[in-house]
Every structure is written in C-alpha cells, then in structure tokens.
Amino acid sequence: MEGDFQESGQPRLWRLSTVHRVEELKSIIRMIPIWSVGILLVTAASHNYTFTLLQARSMDRHLAPKFQIPPATLSIFTVVTMLLSLAFYDRVFVRVARRFTGNPSGITYLQRMGIGLAISIFANVAAALVETKRKAAAAKHGLLDSPTVTVPISVFWLVPQYAIHGLGDAFSSVGHMEFLYDQAPESMRSTAAALFWLAASIGNYMGTVLVILVNDYTKGEWLQDNINRGKLDYYYWLVTGLQVINLGYYIICAMFYTFKPLEVAKPAAENPPKVVDEEVGAGELEFSKVET
C-alpha cells in the first residue's frame, strides 16, 4: 500500500509490522488476564504495613520486662516463612508431587499460583479473627476509649497472618514470575520482570484506593483513629471476600488460557520440526500442529 514503504524500500515500522512482532504482541495480550490477578494479591497484603502495625502498637510487645519489639519487625515472619517454604518446596514438595503428576517440576506454575492464592485467603481470615479477639480483650478491660493504652494481649497473635502471607507468596509470587517469564516472547523476557513489578506497584496503589473507598462508604466508622472503636475486622473480611472473587476469576482465566506454541527442534535426518502447544496448566504436552 502506498506510504507503507520508505523511498529506500525499507518498510515504515509505524505502519507495517512483521508477523513475528504481531505474534509477540498477541502473547503479551494473552498474559494480561492472569497477570492482573497479582494486583489484588498485593492489595490484600498491603495492610500488613499499615493497619496491622497499628494493632501491634496497641498490644503487649514485651519479650522481657524492659524490652519491647518494634511493631514493624513483625514482617520478618513473612520473609522467614517464605524462605523456609521455598526450601521445603524445592527439596521435599517437588519430589513428592513428581511421583503423582509425572511433571519434572512437581506441579505447573499455574497450579502453584492457584495454591498460593488459596493460601493467602486464610491470612486475612486469621487477621479478622485476631482483630476480633484483640477488641474483645480491650472491651473486657475497659480500654475501648483508651487507644494509647496497651491491650493485655500478646502481639504474637499477629504472627500467623504474617506467616500465612509468606507461605502464600512462596507459591503465588514465584508461580506468577515463572508464568510471566515462560510465556513472554523470547525477545521480551525483560518485559516479564517489568510486568511482575508493575503488578506489585499497582497493587499497593489499589490498597490505598480501597482504604479511601471503604472509609468514604462507611463514613469513617470502620477505619477510625481509635482502632478499639473501629471495625477493622470488617475490613479484613471484605478483603477476604475480594480474594475469593479473585481466586474464582483466576481459575476461569487459567482454564481458558492458550499457551504459546513451542517449536521442538530435531536433527535434519529425522522428521521435520513440530510445533506444540504447551498445556502447562494440565501438566502435559500435546501436539496440535505439524509444519510440513
């Protein structure tokens, strides 16, 4: 078509694209639905660095009569649990799962993401239950209107939710990165890493948006400066509900996801190379196309 080529005969890249580039773009577009699942996953964990710290400040943080742990140090339980979970996954879980699935990786990265998303739901369930217990302790000791007074309940009640988040991340975050890296076009592997961190960034911003919306809709009743009078546990249950919806959305996307074709190279003396669709979600390889 006129105007599609320069005078030198070279194509104008802003008007014409090679088939290879079109296929790369299609690969990225196919990844977006599953990529977006990671956004809410980060949003659901963002309160660990805000509201949970407010809870920790109101609880008994003594390890010794004259020593208290800083509230922000509780996040170490997420990191430690994630590291231990990764070691257990590689050394034990993969070997056991391999015997049942026949998959060299034990389970596929889509299955790994699904397990992580399911585990993360229980982190917010634990958060809601612990907040209910903390408020009950404050009411029992007449501290509902004394937000600066320490509630006689150990801060280590908050450890389970941090640990469960770490366990969930060992599955979901790693599986998310594996999915993006494996399904991204060969020439756009760096884009996969960028997409992973973009989801994390958007997730943190969405956490702020969610707090603003909840605060406006509830007229400040749920998220008060005095958390003893607020209904922070309701907020945690709301986030739990959003995670359940996110898990359902993920399952649907994973069921209908079309994996990028892989070209299997063979020696020239043998049959011509075949193109296969990697049904990683099912843990198997199926031959769908044969190039002649």
pLDDT of residue 288: 38
| Cα–Cα dist 125/214, whole Å | 18
Q: What pLDDT, on the 0 to 100 scale, is given for residue 88?
A: 93
Cite the DSSP H helix spans in the chain: 19-45, 51-57, 76-88, 94-101, 109-140, 159-183, 189-217, 232-256
Q: How far apart are the first and last CA of the chain?
A: 31
Q: Per residue in 54-111, pLDDT tens?
A: 999 999 998 888 888 999 899 999 999 999 999 999 999 999 999 888 888 889 889 9
Read off the pLDDT of residues 212-260 as tens digits, 9 standing for 90 and up.
Answer: 999 999 988 898 888 999 899 999 999 999 999 999 999 999 998 887 6
- What is the torsion angle, in degrees rounded to the nearest 10, for the CA atoms of residue 174, residue 177, residue 180 and residue 186? -120
pLDDT digits (tens, 9 = 90+) for 245-257: 999 999 999 998 8
What pTM was estimated for this model as a whole? 0.81
Options 2.40.50.140, 1.20.1250.20, 1.10.3720.10, 3.10.450.750; CATH of 19-258: 1.20.1250.20
Mean pLDDT of the chain: 84
| Closest residue by Cα to residue 55 from 209, 217, 235 | 235
Closest to 57 measured CA to CA, from 73, 71, 77: 71
What is the predicted pLDDT for the residue at 185? 79
Domain coordinates of the chain in residue numbers? 19-258, 259-292
CA–CA gap between residue 291 and residue 124 (Å, rounded): 50
- Burial 173-184, CB ≥16 within 10 A → b, else e: bbbbbbbbbbbb
Strand pairing class (261-264; 151-154): unpaired
